[in-house]
Amino acid sequence: MFKGSIPALITPFANGRVDYDGFQKLVNWQIEEGSHGLVPCGTTGESPTLDHDEHRKVTEIAIDVSAGRVPVIAGCGSNSTREAVGLMEHAAKAGADAALVVVPYYNKPTQEGMFQHFKALNDAADLPIIIYNIPGRSIVDMSVETMARCYGELKNVIGVKDATGDVARVALQRVACGPDFLQLSGEDQTALALMAHGGHGCISVTANIAPSLCAAFQNACMEGDYQTALTYQDRLTRLHDAMFVEASPGPVKYAASLLGLCSDEMRLPMVPVSTQTQKTVRSALEDAGLLG
């Protein structure tokens, strides 16, 4: 059910407020362009600066507009277990297909603390959980052993969005958890390697602005046609790289503005990207054949 190209959706803003109409259009466009699923309210969607009402409404819109055409994996992460439970309970009632839950950031929990966090979520709502392991932002790194424990002991934990950048981790998690353990890349640049190691797809930043290309890349991977996948990878590599020359979602929002998808507005402490980054992003879009 959860496979292929799954954009981590940006959240459009206009004059400081969420542009809900713009978000609806973005969801429809993503599905029409071939995306295999959607993730609202992740880090790329600026969840840290959405208030609770906004967070819930964005999730609801993604579910309502998608109308079952593709699965919706609702971002429900927090460094407060109680807050994450509330977001998961809402996502379940709203009809989400799964929850994406980041390993708690800033608090620096131990491996036991991480397990207990996901156990509380598992026990609170009957909704599949995808662990989001991103040490670069959360500081802590869930070990392979703890991940295998979560998968083995918690019935709702089904997989991981892996943003460690460590391709060897994918193979180790596959051996520890088995081939049915869902492994989604959390970094576009490593998605090809993850798929070749038995992965299932990518929760993608680049897919916000190149959904059809990212979907075609994933389709080739899922068909085992890695030569075709490599052709797409070559075309997208500069764009993947450009999305992280500054903190995300700055570059992808600027790219989206160039394509007429939404404004590049973000909320503090995120600020508009530099002039040099603008040049880099524009050049990468042109190189991928998406602009000019």
Catalytic residue positions? 132, 161
Please, are residues 2 and 199 in contact by the beta-carbon 8 Å criterion? Answer: no
| Relative orientation angle of helices 226-242 and 211-222, to the nearest 10 degrees | 140
SS3 99: strand
Q: What is the DSSP letter of 79?
A: S
Strand partners, 4: 201
Cβ 205 vs Cβ 250: under 8 Å: no
Alpha carbon distance 44, 46 (integer Å): 5
Q: For residues 225 and 75, what is the distance between their CA atoms, to the nearest angstrom?
A: 31
